[in-house]
Amino acid sequence: APPLHAQGQGEEGEQDAALRPKRMADMVGQRAVYERIKIAVDAAKMRGEPLGHVLFDGPPGLGKTTFATCIPRDLGVTLQIASGATLGAPKDLLPYLTNAEAGSVLFIDEIHRLPKAVEEFMYPAMEDFRVDITLGEGVSARTINMTLQPFTIIGATTRTGLLSAPLRDRFQIREHLDFYSEPELTEIVTRNAGKLRLEIDPPAAAKVAMCSRGTPRIANNRLRWVRDYATSRADGAATLKVAEEALAMLGIDPMGLDPQDRKYLQTILRVFRGGPAGVEAIAHTMNTAIDTLTDEVEPFLLRSELVVRSPRGRRLTQLGYAHLGETPPEEFPE
Ligand code: ADP
């Protein structure tokens, strides 16, 4: 069997794995997505056919990798993990394709980062379970046609818009993962506190959930911090007071925004007078990568209606001004 490639996220990746649900049934939230995937998985199992290719999109930390690792367990098949960032040429992808057992899953994280040549190499693999390999060069070049086992590709990306239409269209199942509700996050925090053997009061669990920007990965990180704080500064138990103190020390505000989120809002307010401002200009001013803003910072702020996106750029909303304790200008557009 091919090696299972690590996620390349260092320690955080391993910590993520410790709290990651093993089965889809253990996942919290995303009910509509869960139900649709479950039907497709059941049907594939009953017919003894591979599951259709699946594409997940959504901001980081919402469960794309979790779905991708739970689905093969539920199917009872093997899983290979690759990343679009490291598949630079068709030859990098080929071993994964030839190693894929019948019915197995190949998870490609950051699939939008695949170079065009690799993408095109993948089309016949996805459609007809075959690849065309070119040997030699120039006049002596030959193409060998190789048959693959029928298998499933699960792709993950932060935005489907980053994928070319021909690649997107080759996924039979496309699912968008959205932010989690506070009750869902509270459930995740409570369960994971149990896994971490942390005694947590229900109001403290709700507080951590409220401060996690709708994102399970952030909830897990905040929970670990609360646990450290409780161990170091209290008697180990996470009361509401302990959770509040721990989160305040990270600079998390009551809405769950962290210093970087607030810096983004402050930049639009102070430098661009509330906007509209282009994301490139904001990123430049903040000395931050544009992708970090569009993929990690903005989705939750847009969803919380603190900013809006218009053709002319990002603009603070009434709520955005209020959150910063400011009054919008007189002629404020509605
Ligand atoms: P993504 O691949 O979208 O960046 P992950 O699947 O790695 O996100 O999720 C990050 C962490 O959040 C996981 O390790 C897991 O602990 C937690 N998590 C994500 N989705 C769920 C869920 N639906 N239920 C419980 N925990 C979840």
Q: 307: CA distance to ligand 1 center in Å?
A: 26
Cis omega (within 30 of 0) for bond into 202: no
Q: According to the model, what pLDDT value does residue 24 have?
A: 96
Q: 320: CA distance to ligand 1 center in Å?
A: 28
Q: According to the model, what pLDDT value does residue 238 have?
A: 97
Q: Which residues are known catalytic residues?
A: 64-65, 109, 158, 217
For atom 7 of ligand 1, the residue with the nearest CA is: 65
Q: 111: CA distance to ligand 1 center in Å?
A: 18
For residue 141, what pLDDT band results from cuts at 50, 70 and 90?
confident
Give the pTM.
Answer: 0.92
Instruction: Give 235: exposed, middle or buried? Use CB within 10 Å, 0-12, 13-18, 19+.
Output: exposed
Is 216 a pocket residue for ligand 1 (Cβ < 6 Å)? yes
∠138-139-145 over CA atoms, to 5°? 85
For atom 15 of ligand 1, the residue with the nearest CA is: 20
- What is the distance between the alpha carbons of residues 162 and 172, in angstroms, rounded to a whole number? 18
Interface predicted TM-score of the whole assembly (ipTM), two decimals:
0.99
pLDDT digits (tens, 9 = 90+) for 183-233: 999 999 999 999 999 999 999 999 999 999 999 999 999 999 999 999 999
What does pLDDT average to over the chain? 93
User: Residue 265: which H helix or E strand, with range?
Assistant: helix 259-270
Q: Does the pLDDT of residue 5 top 80, yes or no?
A: no
For atom 6 of ligand 1, the residue with the nearest CA is: 63
Q: 218: CA distance to ligand 1 center in Å?
A: 9
Question: Per-residue pLDDT averaged across 171-178, rounded?
Answer: 97
User: What value does the CA radius of gyration of the chain take, rounded to a whole number of Å?
Assistant: 23
Buried b (16+ CB within 10 A) or exposed e, 299-316: bbbeebebbbeeeebbbb
For residue 14, what pLDDT band results from cuts at 50, 70 and 90?
low
Residue 153: half-sphere exposure toward Cβ, Cα within 13 Å: 29
Is 168 a pocket residue for ligand 1 (Cβ < 6 Å)? no
Question: Per-residue pLDDT averaged across 111-116, rounded?
Answer: 96
Q: According to the model, what pLDDT value does residue 334 have?
A: 62
